[in-house]
Structure 1
């Protein structure tokens, strides 16, 4: 039996079990039940970025919440794409099911990942670091039927309520079985090969015990056809909750085993700062995965040769166990405890163009149906980023004790907490280079006088690539402990709060760079250092009326470095260790009037950082200043609802070792980013769209290459055939727009958003 058949059999068994259990459940409430008229939910209680739950109208932070219906409205193809609908968040999700570049409010994206933003599941970090090269938290995150809602904090208390998150916190909050019932569904790609099965189910096991389970399985060629099974895998999550007389205890498990393609930049031509496409390579659909690849032979950390399948793309494995408790200890004291132990591993394989043309004389096909025949077309050098994710496992715990004191004239909420984390970062890099046919549709490897005899298409192996930079082995461990406290005062219409967080991190381990195709003990470097920082956040909120409030806040937070500072200065504690500091000031207004609600924030963010970028092999140390305004608004009249957002940012580089870039606009930072999402309900049908747009930005810090502005229109229609059966049709990038999100500094390669994809879903609720 093939691995695909085994996975299908397992998923069928899970669905059958769920159906058996669902048969005894009561009917779920209709999914189109009327929501709160104010779709910004300014009076709803939020839990992210606050020591104790509080309403948006009372909190002095900028926070957005999205429920399942709002998430579906933006037709996301991965978890990071959901965040395109959140004002203030810049989510470059063009890479596929992971490795997204993400930040908030002008805080820079200097090399990739999400350095200043923490991805969480149920209040705990998925990974402590958001910008590890080839290993970012969103790679281990999948949005499915287990997702209850999403809360996103920008700035504010993110500096003190979590570690490594001065820019913001993105918290994916799970369902816990409070609503009895479930659903099964199937989604098919209509203009591409993809089939996905989803299920979810929640039920009461006894008067005080409830459970929830959900999962998905997906198989296909992906939205960028490669001619191979590029997508194969899925996830299952479950939890059980025991209600107590003084609170609750919850246990949870997660298993993720998923294989998806990674979309890297493709060869382009850049003339006078303007990017244009090359013949035969459509940036929206190009895939250099192909049935005509041979095995990529790499060096593992033990100096053994290992054969890998290039078409495996991103293969991630995650197993996690969590425990959560909220207990009333008496006397007004409440204990909240969260724990999770995760194992994370896998492999990252993607193809990065080292140039946009490489046409040596005498080329022949090395693989494919034309193997051995002469080839006279365009070619390029393809660098295979082949990284073994040896160990990204973590153990995290967050415990906090809270009490509200009734004092004369008001209430004082006190919280003290202790966070501990053990994060492993174990990676083995290998970069081989091949001569590849310059086409985005099932390219073949090519032979020429420059390729290695006996190795189809191989131009350079491992330590012969890019000056020997990128055969690396990293085996490190980061122990982080943080003590934090918050005081919140409420009196009449005033809410004031102050919070402090003291983080101390101990780093240990080794890193090595291979020479002449071997890791040598003499080149081993040791890591042994400690860093610490005290972060703060002070805020105030004043309610002029029940529906109008003003707020202001000042904060400072830190993002510690991991692999980004390796292979530069010593990390044995003999020299100062570079860190990244963000200082923010913000203030704004929250306003509701009848069916209109809005959230407007003025902000300034100053960032000092150190960095290393894998594709350019450059270390940098820059300072940035960003000022702007962030608007989130909603309007509803009858069956029509409109939500939208806009972020205007004026950012500049104010300090750098390279004096020529001082005063320039940071790369990939647009002046204006906006979202607009209308929906209309007509009986059993709901139709809607989301427009996501950006003005132009620069692809490099020197501001010599322009990433043009673009708009992406997504659309959907849902139809309720019966109380239980719903069908939907969604289109991502309806007008098949090319939208570049990044470009290499010399302009030879750029990455675009995906082209048009159309999906149909049939869902049955129990």
Structure 2
């Protein structure tokens, strides 16, 4: 497909391979439209886009290279209507769609799929979001997305939409080998893909990547290390096919989270700038000097955590996909079992203090500050006021989540048939979906004292009283969350089993298409959870000689422990109905219009197994209404296509209720945890367009949204305010000049300002990122590419962790990488 982001409007029953359809799928997971205006993936035959009644998009494999990133979140953020907040890697990202709220991290209302099945059942599992266990490489054939509409009825927990990463399946014999390297940063990568038809019935495809290096932001060591390999084999026969596929992913990357910057000005007109000696565009909180941390494991025994594992993701998956004809019905089944585990490690400052005032802030005025690690370990900081050129220290957190199991089994079975009826065609589909999602995870938090130095040279700091008594131990202030209560030391082992029958009908006669679909989700949650957060007299902190030196230090008196003798059983169930109905009318050859109304739901999973949502005495939810968030949506759109010009415009409205726990910040930047019990609404317009003239082309996607908090039961003062991180306008554009030998263009991303927190005080500036690319084809089968990300080195960020400009002028931001240059050479054969 030539388009970068090509608008695809699909009928009510869209998808077999992409898991949102009511029509039988062809044997082509990576098919692209072979007829202009037709969409062939997931339908019995190509459909003209102007005869369909839903909004969807595709990113082709060729344009994945031009976007210039392999980050799943950043790829998804190039799709109109979808916003992704990420520091450039894929752990704990936040993704939303069409103004639905970003109360927490993950993709609560948007489901991420791989080859037509979800990566995980829930998009916002704490410390284990789907993007962390998915990678894009040369084996990715294309990316498809559906927004709103029947997404709520053809996939579970996906009322906002579905994004599906589709693998190549060896339709054509040949392969690719690509070598990539950062030109102004240290990261090398090798990608490969090869597919072949073995005979008239068998074909296969194998592909993957390996990468290693420090990455675009300084850490002082190789924070990226690992890769994946995927394989599939397909056997075709009369009336169908069967496909076997497998995936092995073992990859680690840093969690490039929040870092400090200076801020001045007012809440409505703030001015942000890098700290002296620490630039968020090229530096990070990771450091060569701090490689491990001590915590207690799930048996309350000491364990050393390797912080350099970062976000370590491990997946072993096997799946089967089959399609065949039976008594006039087309039967399609997809099944996959994934063994998923890993770690999440994070380090970040929470409370910022001038290093010269650090000892006094910790209650020991006149005390001494020294280096806890690194080449100067044990030495006193000679002049704290000039430490690292910025004189800044922080009370910080080391966060570790030991992901023991996110194992996931899923099966989607459907049957479709087309009937002739009253001069038209009636397409019917009936399906049954079943899944089992493990969430087996241990959380640990250490409170630390840290500094911020560029080049991956930050250290932990020790503080002693004037008499020499240590307040810290190896830079650790307490072996628990700030405050030492033992909160958030959690161990949970819960399984969610979901069963969902669904069905649809779609009738097309002449210029009119009508369709409707229905789904019922029933989920059972069973398991055990531990933690002082459960209340009921459970104690979560105590004295423990965690380093085994025979002495209980002051930090060791505040060691987080699990109350192992007081578990709570999880035993609750819930169910909800989703439906969607739409109509499309072909007004003229070049023009059509559609309308749709939908209702869906999104379950809360692990965010519901601790109070206040959960009652540990009964194992039930505190209120049955907390089990899921209902969403209502309406869409009205028009589609125009004439020659080289395509313009699709869709107006939308959405309303949802969300019960959640939000990690927020007050006006001084202090971290607070806010319970969320709200209703939200959003309305807006999406534009997707393409124009071509000779070698020139322009693709443009733009979204205008107005979101608001309709009702906040816990804080009525926020009624009517704009939710945090919800800009009114965002867009993507790709102008391009292309000839047989060269392609020159840019991927441009623009976001308007938004509010940092739900209080609507501190403005979060918008930004425009210009990401040019040049592709040169000097020889047959050889392509050399230069991608430049953030050409003008814009200080841009997707998150500010403060409700106002604080008195100390320091806030945390989630920065977007600065200027990076990546060169690659791709060889086809």
Deviates more, 1:47-56 or 1:262-271: 47-56
Secondary structure of residue in 1 paired with 2:353: coil
Q: Counterpart of 1:142 in 2: which secondary structure? A: coil
Partner of 1:677: 734
- Looking at structure 2, the residues matched to 757 and 525 of structure 1 have their Cα atoms a distance apart, in angstroms, of 49
Deviation of residue 207 (structure 1)? 1.6
> In the alignment, does 2:123 pair up with 1:130?
yes
Q: For residues 39 and 131 of structure 1, do their structure 2 counterparts lie closer, same or farther at Cα, with a shift above 3 Å needed? A: closer
Name 2:319's counterpart in structure 1.
Answer: 322
Aligned to 2:768: 711
Secondary structure at 1:228's aligned position in 2? coil
> What is the rounded CA distance, in whole Å, between the counterparts of 1:452 and 1:304 in structure 2?
24
Alpha-carbon spacing, 1:418–1:46, altered in 2? closer, same or farther (3 Å): closer
Inter-partner Cα distance in structure 1 for 2:484 and 2:21: 46
**Correspondent of 2:587 among 530, 540, 544:** 544
Equivalent of 2:710 in 644, 647, 654:
654
2:779 to 708, 718, 722: 722
1:385–1:432 contact (8 Å) kept in structure 2: yes
SS of residue paired to 1:138: helix
CA separation in 1, counterparts of 2:168 and 2:797? 36
- State the partner residue of 1:3: none
1:530 and 2:541 correspond: no
The corresponding residue for 1:565 is 608
Offset from partner CA, 1:150-194 (integer Å, 9 cap, x none): 111110001101011000000111110001100111101000000
Give the drift of 1:372.
2.4
Q: Distance in 2 between matches of 1:309 and 1:574?
A: 36
Q: Which residue of 1 aligns with 2:698?
A: 642
Task: Tell whether 2:367 aligns with 1:310.
Answer: no
> Contact 2:87/2:817 (CA < 8 Å) preserved in 1?
yes
2:793 aligns with 736
Quick one: distance in 2 between partners of 1:216 and 1:558? 36
Which digits, 9 at most, give the CA deviation of each residue in 1:315-334, with x for residues without a partner? 11001000000111132x10
Q: Hey, what's the Cα distance between the residues in 2 that align with 1:91 and 1:67?
A: 19
State the Cα distance separating 1:575 from its structure 2 match. 3.6
Q: Are the equivalent residues in 1 in contact too, given 2:338–2:407 (CA < 8 A)? A: yes
Q: Matched residues in 2 for 1:738 and 1:306: separation? A: 39
Q: Tell me what 1:363 maps to.
A: 369
Aligned length: 732
Does 2:206 align with 1:213? yes
Q: Is the 8 A contact 1:677 1:691 kept in 2?
A: yes
- Shift in CA distance, 703/78, structure 1 to aligned 2, threshold 3 Å: same
Counterpart of 1:588? 637
- Mapped to 1, the partners of 2:677 and 2:573 lie a distance apart of 20
Q: Distance in 2 between matches of 1:164 and 1:37?
A: 28
Q: C-alpha deviations, 1:518-538, integer Å up to 9, x for none?
A: 212343222110010001100
Distance 2:5 2:143 in 1: 17
Q: Deviations over 1:656-713 (max 9, x none)?
A: 0201111110000000001110111134011110110011000100011111010001
Q: 1:620 to 1:77 in 2, by over 3 A?
A: same
Aligned to 2:758: 701
Asked if structure 2 preserves the Cα contact closer than 8 Å seen for 1:694 and 1:709, the reply is yes
Aligned match of 1:372: 378
**1:457 match:** 475
Instruction: Give SS of 1:185's match.
Output: strand
Q: Counterpart in 1 of 2:65?
A: 72
Q: Partners of 2:720 and 2:325 in 1: how far apart?
A: 54
Matches for 1:138-287 after TM superposition, within 5 Å = 138-271=131-264, 272-273=266-267, 274=270, 276-277=272-273, 278-287=275-284
Q: What pairs with 1:465-504 in structure 2 (closer than 5 Å)? A: 465=483, 467-504=485-522
How far 1:281 moved relative to its partner? 2.6
Higher deviation after alignment, 715-724 or 366-375: 366-375
What does residue 388 of structure 1 align with? Answer: 402
Give distance in 2, aligned partners of 1:590 and 1:680: 26
CA contact (8 A) 1:269 1:356 kept: no
Does the 8 Å CA contact 2:115/2:164 hold for their aligned counterparts?
A: yes
Counterpart check, 1:664 vs 2:664:
no
Alpha-carbon distance, 1:290 to partner: 1.1
Once residues 656 and 758 of structure 2 are traced to their aligned partners in structure 1, the CA distance between those partners, rounded to angstroms, is 15
Partner of 1:338: 334
For residues 202-251 of structure 1, what are the alpha-carbon distances to aligned partners after superposition, in whole Å with 9 as ceiling and x for unaligned?
Answer: 00122210000001000000111211111100000000000011200000
Could you tell me the TM-score, scaled by structure 1's length?
0.93
Paired position in structure 2 for 1:610: 659
Aligned residues: CA RMSD: 1.9
1:295, 1:122 → 2: CA distance?
A: 37
CA contact (8 A) 2:293 2:307 kept: yes
Cα distance change, pair 709–453 in 1 and its aligned pair in 2 (3 A): closer
Shift of the 452–220 alpha-carbon distance from structure 1 to 2, 3 Å rule, reads farther
Distance 1:560 1:466 in 2: 32
How far apart are 1:567 and its partner, in Å?
2.1
> Residues 452 and 474 of structure 1: is their aligned pair in 2 closer, same or farther, counting only changes over 3 Å?
farther
Aligned to 2:461: 446
Deviation at 1:35, TM superposition (A): 4.2
Q: Deviations over 1:699-750 (max 9, x none)?
A: 1000111110100010111111211111111011111111121122446311
Q: Structure 1 unaligned runs (5+)? A: 1-33
Q: CA separation in 2, counterparts of 1:115 and 1:37?
A: 26
SS of residue matched to 1:90? strand
What displacement does 1:634 show? 0.3
Deviations 1:24-72 (A, max 9, x none): xxxxxxxxxx848995467999654322234333221110011012222
Corresponding residue for residue 576 of structure 1: 623
State the alpha-carbon separation in 2 of the partners of residues 671 and 80 from structure 1. 20
- Of 750, 755, 758, 2:818 maps to 755
Alignment partners' CA distance in 2, 1:738 and 1:77: 21
- What secondary structure is seen at the aligned counterpart in 1 of 2:420? strand
Cα–Cα, structure 1 residues 41 and 384, in superposed 2: closer, same or farther, change >3 Å?
same
What's the CA shift for 1:753? 0.8
